[in-house]
Structure 1
Amino acid sequence: MNIPNASHLPSRIKDGVALLEHLTPVWFAMVMGWCGLAQAWLRATDGLGNTAYGIGLVAGAFALLLFVVLCLASLLRLQAHPGAVAADMRHPIRHAYMATLPISILLLASLGIQLFWGQDRLLDSALTLGWCVGSVLEIAATVWVISRWFKPAQNGGIQWASFTPVFFIPVVGNVLAPLGGVGIGLQAWATAQFGVGLFLWMVMQTLFFVRLAQAGPMPARMAPSLFITVVPPSIGGLSLLQLDAPMAVAWMLWGIAAFFLLLALREMSVIREQPFSMAHWGMSFPLAAFTALSLRMSQAPDGGWMQTPAILLLALTSLLILGLTLGTWRSLQHGHLLVADA
């Protein structure tokens, strides 16, 4: 992709290219949120029938559209503002968002596998390739993030003040591997990758508690990231069920996820006080993941009591993601998002 000399471009296009300097990888959290919402609605088909399936299909299609637009915009940003991309990779917090790209690929591939697997050989090959690319990139991103920890703090190593649940993001991509990998016959690899994520989740959670003890509460603007702690047990429960784990283990992970969700909800008053930013999208995928697990558990022999709460969660998650999408659109129109440190 070659960008013509900026002096020959219309002013509106030049302004748009300039704004891309601030299109950090956190924007791919939108893709994750909509993929999670699609997954949750698809889990509701047993109770809500074809309506849930249709909504899940539309949500998945919208996630794919967002992914394509963001990939094209990111490629343009890489060519127009390579220094901004390099700065993201050096940033003590934003570097972890680099994993949102392979996670988005994995999520989209897993959705495609769930919806279309076995209908066409060429499509199956494309979905398998997409899943493998996402899996390998996610492992690479995880190794890159963790390898930074071996450096001194002044050279990009761990700094307690900047250690937030954003660092859980690479873990998320590993624990969701079985959701798509099992269906395409790559259970061994998906299970191994899940093991990496499960191990790192425990490490990250321990480090986060140490960080709270060492550096105190997180900055108020990072409060939405607390919801990210809900993701590993939520996706972990779904993945373990995909691997035919005992239902008792899934219930334990559901309980852990519910506990962290309650902790995160205690910060809602702080979150509401913050001006809207892309950080608010940190609530979307976690809530969708917990909703999907809750819907799955409501189908268990002893999970009938959860059917109504799970449907209510689905409605709440849908309203949240629609609200975040509308808020993003409005903030873009008013020029509040694509700015420095947004």
Structure 2
Amino acid sequence: MTTPSPTRSNHRLTRAIAHLEHLAPAWFALVMGWCGLSLAWLRAADVLGETALGLGLVAALFALFVFVLLCICCVVRLMVHPDAVAADMRHPVRHAFMATLPLSIMLLAGIGVSLFWNTSRTLDTLLTFAWVLGSVLEIAATVWVLARWLNTADAGGLQWATFTPVFFIPVIGNVLAPMAGVTVGLEAWATAQFGVGLLLWPVLQTMLLVRMVQAGPLPARMSPTIFITVVAPSIVGLCFLQLDAPLSLAWGSWGIGLFCLALSLTQIHTIFEQAFGLPHWGMSFPMAAFTTLTLRMSQAHGGAWLQLPATLLLAVTSLLILGLTLGTWRGLRHGQLLVPEK
């Protein structure tokens, strides 16, 4: 067996660093997808037992691994390709993905709270700090994204042609707050942040419908992102339950999520026609979020009929995220992903 020469190794490293120029913040969608899958399996532990708990832990560890790897790559990218980072922040669509970083932090902290809260005072402090960091950064990202809309179109303001479900991402981070914020003892702050998301969600939903009328359907390559509309009602329903709101509000949220999912599925043919790319990860976290809410509602009063559909949803979501992960691995190996946008 031959040992790679130092020259060849250096060449590979140089090529890898060069490819990081195209590592857009949308890559944190992988972390969100695996975190969502972890939350779904952890919720299923009430029904499926220790096996589901173990799978949820495995999914969480993989999400953490991907998060750390992406953070390292982003730091290198910022140092080597600062112009590319600045271009992402100016881009009319990609800038909204900046909110995926704090959202990933909140999700990972929330999973940690679900698994390890009250096992160690030091760990509780670390998890609380991580959640607060993600929460504050999420608020900052939300203000920054929406502040751009106050500019004129020439100065990077909102344009109907560039408005996509991607702009729901900052909203999702805010409505997510009570899921872990209540447990760590910051219910007042978490509920206030939840209110911000609850204000913006119907506004953005209305704007998306107006965009469809004004500028026509989404570009075909962005068609998977229509699934993002499923996330807000799914997370809102889970948070209503966390905040001990009337069960009817959770059922209403589940109904809205189901409607958004059915509407998204009408685009499945268009989605399958597209070459694999990062936009396909737009289906992962929404499916996981709706699966988690469905599992939770199957245990609520009057929800026993959802047990079989919830289990089927869990299987479909798991296969989807595994398929997306394999597709991403193949795309990286064949040099099809870290490339300039067409």
TM-score by length of 2: 0.97
Paired with 1:141 and 1:46, the residues of 2 have a C-alpha distance of 35
* Cα offsets for 1:171-208 (capped at 9, x unmatched): 00000000110001000000000000011001100111
- CA shift, 1:8, in A, is 12
Partner of 1:171: 171
Alignment of 1:196-275 (within 5 A): 196-275=196-275
Residue identity opposite 1:256 in structure 2: I
Q: Is 2:159 the counterpart of 1:159?
A: yes
* Cα offsets for 1:203-262 (capped at 9, x unmatched): 100111111111111110110010000000000100111000111100000000000000
Partner of 2:182: 182
Partner of 1:287: 287
Partner of 1:91: 91
Unmatched segments (≥5 aa) in structure 2: 1-6
Paired with 1:334 and 1:11, the residues of 2 have a C-alpha distance of 17
Unmatched segments (≥5 aa) in structure 1: 1-6
Partner of 2:68: 68
Partner of 1:50: 50
Please state whether the residue corresponding to 2:289 is helix, strand or coil: helix
Paired with 1:133 and 1:321, the residues of 2 have a C-alpha distance of 27
Partner of 1:333: 333
Residue identity opposite 1:283 in structure 2: M
Paired with 1:216 and 1:329, the residues of 2 have a C-alpha distance of 33
State, as a whole percentage, how many aligned pairs show the same letter. Answer: 65
- CA shift, 1:9, in A, is 8.2
Paired with 2:9 and 2:61, the residues of 1 have a C-alpha distance of 32
Aligned residue-pair number: 336
Partner of 1:141: 141
Partner of 1:311: 311
Residue identity opposite 2:301 in structure 1: P
Paired with 2:60 and 2:70, the residues of 1 have a C-alpha distance of 15
Please state whether the residue corresponding to 2:321 is helix, strand or coil: helix
Paired with 2:59 and 2:236, the residues of 1 have a C-alpha distance of 22
Please state whether the residue corresponding to 1:10 is helix, strand or coil: helix
TM-score by length of 1: 0.97
Computed over aligned residues only, the root mean square deviation of the Cα atoms, in angstroms, reads 1.1
* Cα offsets for 1:75-130 (capped at 9, x unmatched): 00000000000000000000000000000000000000010000000000000000
- CA shift, 1:10, in A, is 1.1
Paired with 1:341 and 1:281, the residues of 2 have a C-alpha distance of 16
- CA shift, 1:152, in A, is 0.3
Partner of 1:27: 27
